[in-house]
Structures are given as structure tokens and as C-alpha cells.
């Protein structure tokens, strides 16, 4: 098997002209079709990795659930629950090329976990439970967008959560 992988890597690196690239792409498509048929869970993991190329800030569904479950204090919203709040308030759920919904959910959950108590005080409340769901969603959404669309480019969700 090691010899096959070495030969594949040698051939992959040898692609120089358009015909070679077309042959390589065809082989990759055939390999992925085989993989999707024989090992769909593994194929999904590969798609999740490739999806990161399409977004500046990307988290897969599985990665998001794992991260949100690890937050302490716990996140306020479930995956679907947050989506309902965002849609009800006319807030952006994802922005093509910038961030996907799972990245937004993770960062909003992180912002809530890290800053809800401080936000409550800044809003003149003793606890975050005194803030309406609508006000909390709108405020946390704004904070999350500040991170996801960081103008300085320092915040990278995949790097921050080591995924």
C-alpha cells in the first residue's frame, strides 16, 4: 500500500499541462465516487475539509456540535433554535464566501458563553436572564459578526478552536 501511495503522489506532482490535469481530475472524481459508495462517513469528512476552501470562516456540522457542547458555561441556543431566532429577527445566517451557518452558531455560542454576564450589566440588568431573547440574539449576533468578519483578519475560527 505504501508503494501505491508513493506512486500516486509522484504522479500527482507531475501534472504540468491541461491534459494531465484533466486526467488527474477524472481519477480523483472516480476515487471519490468509490469512496462515497463504500465509506460515506469518511467521504463526508473529506467534503467537510474541502468545504473550508469555500469560506473564510467555516465549521462543519459535526465540528460545530462538538465545540458548542464543550463550552462552559453552556451555550444558550441549540443549532435549530438559533436558526429560528435569527430568521424571526431577519438576521444574516451565513454570508457566501465569508462564513457558514455552523461557524456563526459556534461564534454566537462562544460570545454568549464568554460575555452574557457582562452584556447584562452593560444593558442595566443583573443577570442575562433579564434580557429578552430578541435583544440577546441581536446583540450576540453583532458581536459574532465582528469576530467572523474581523477587518484585521486575526480571528480564524479553525485556528481558534484547533480544528
pLDDT on residue 89: 93
pLDDT on residue 14: 67
pLDDT on residue 8: 80
Tens-place pLDDT, residues 53-62: 788 899 999 9
Beta bridge partners of 57: 99
Grid cell 481530475 in the structure block, residue: 25
Query: In a structure prediction context, what are the per-residue pLDDT tens digits for the chain, which is 163 residues long?
Result: 888 888 887 877 766 777 777 888 888 888 889 989 999 989 888 887 787 778 889 999 999 999 999 999 888 899 999 999 999 999 999 998 899 999 999 999 999 999 999 988 998 888 888 888 888 999 999 999 999 998 887 898 988 998 8
pTM of the predicted structure, to 2 decimals: 0.75
Whether the CB-CB separation of 123 and 115 falls below 8 Å is answered with no
Longest alpha-carbon distance in the chain: 67
Tens-place pLDDT, residues 42-80: 988 888 778 777 888 999 999 999 999 999 988 889 999
DSSP for 40-64 reads: HHHHHHHHHHHHGGG-SB---HHHH
Amino acid at each position: 500500500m505504501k508503494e501505491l501511495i508513493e506512486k500516486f503522489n509522484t504522479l500527482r506532482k507531475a501534472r504540468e499541462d491541461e491534459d494531465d490535469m484533466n486526467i488527474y481530475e477524472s481519477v480523483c472524481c472516480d476515487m471519490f465516487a468509490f469512496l462515497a459508495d463504500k465509506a460515506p462517513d469518511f467521504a463526508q469528512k473529506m467534503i467537510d475539509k474541502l468545504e473550508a476552501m469555500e469560506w473564510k470562516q467555516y465549521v462543519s456540522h459535526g465540528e460545530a456540535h462538538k465545540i458548542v457542547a464543550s463550552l462552559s458555561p453552556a451555550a444558550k441556543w441549540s443549532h435549530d433554535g438559533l436558526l429560528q431566532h435569527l430568521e424571526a429577527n431577519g438576521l444574516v445566517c451565513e454570508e457566501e464566501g465569508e462564513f457558514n451557518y455552523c461557524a456563526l452558531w459556534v461564534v454566537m455560542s462562544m460570545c454568549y458563553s464568554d460575555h452574557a454576564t457582562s452584556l447584562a450589566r452593560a444593558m442595566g440588568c443583573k443577570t442575562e436572564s433579564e434580557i429578552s431573547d430578541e435583544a440577546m440574539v441581536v446583540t450576540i449576533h453583532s458581536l459574532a459578526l465582528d469576530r467572523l468578519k474581523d477587518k484585521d483578519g486575526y480571528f480564524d475560527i479553525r485556528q481558534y478552536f484547533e480544528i
